[in-house]
Amino acid sequence: KRLAKIPILLKRFRQSVLAAACSGRLTEDWREKHPDTEPASITIDRLKKITAATRVRRGVPSVVPRSDMVSRWDLPETWSSCSAAELLRCGAIADLKDGNHGANHPKFSDFTDEGLPFVTAAQVNNFRVDYDGAHKLSGEALERIRVGFAKPGDVIYTHKGSVGRVAIADRRCILTPQTTYYRLSTEVFVNEFLMLFLASGFFSGQVDIIKEQTTRDFVPISEQYSLFHRVPPLAEQEEIVRRAKVRLEFINRMET
């Protein structure tokens, strides 16, 4: 009976690490030792001036109202909070796209033994992508695909079926309509920090509101544009990732 309780405790432990990482508690002492760190807002404003005339994909809103949940966020002074749409418009998120293939979606008979992995939500688990377990595409079926090509370094988020699983792509692959990639500017984001944030309660709490409204386990790309992100300074993101990794690896060893 005691052993049966351990997975529940470890799940809570993981969420507490993510909460500490994405709230600023984990690096509170780091901020005291680095008072001259450039606030994220200054970095983002600098990008906005550079990208003022840049066009973004159709459907990305120009203004996103803050929900009551986001308005209550208590952020460290050097952190910012921005919608994905705002981050897309300034180039902090270079691209955000799902694998919505429409009529070009491959049939089962199109899959081959070798080729690019076709990643579904089932292949994303425990912050990893199971490329070996994915179907493969090559030849004419691959040539028909126009969107949803993830690159190494992209953060992959599952938004349909099993919502909320995250990983970082370490090779080129094709996403199914169940998955989204977040391609980031290295001036603003450490991809591993965004992965932690997407897995945290600060992001999933917003997602849950959308799922309640649609009564489906589904967060379309159009809704993801309106979700808000916490953005610490880049140097602090690196420190958050370093500290969170130590704790999450410890949890994984305990689980094993």
Please tell me the number of Cα atoms within 13 Å of 227 on its side-chain side.
Answer: 24
Q: Which spans in the chain are helix H?
A: 2-23, 28-33, 40-50, 68-71, 84-90, 139-144, 191-199, 201-214, 221-224, 234-255
Residue 57's pLDDT is: 76
Q: How many residues does the chain have?
A: 256
Residue 53's pLDDT is: 61
Low-confidence ranges of the chain (pLDDT < 70): 52-53
Sign of CA dihedral 238, 80, 14, 169: negative
Residue 163's pLDDT is: 94
Write out pLDDT tens, residues 18-37.
Answer: 999 999 999 999 999 999 99
Which long-range CB contacts under 8 A does 168-173 form with residues at least 24 apart? 168/127, 168/192, 168/195, 169/129, 170/129, 171/117, 171/131, 172/116, 173/116, 173/117, 173/118, 173/119, 173/129, 173/131, 173/134, 173/149
Residue 214's pLDDT is: 73
Write out the two tokens for 100.
Answer: 């919505």
DSSP conformation class of 75? -
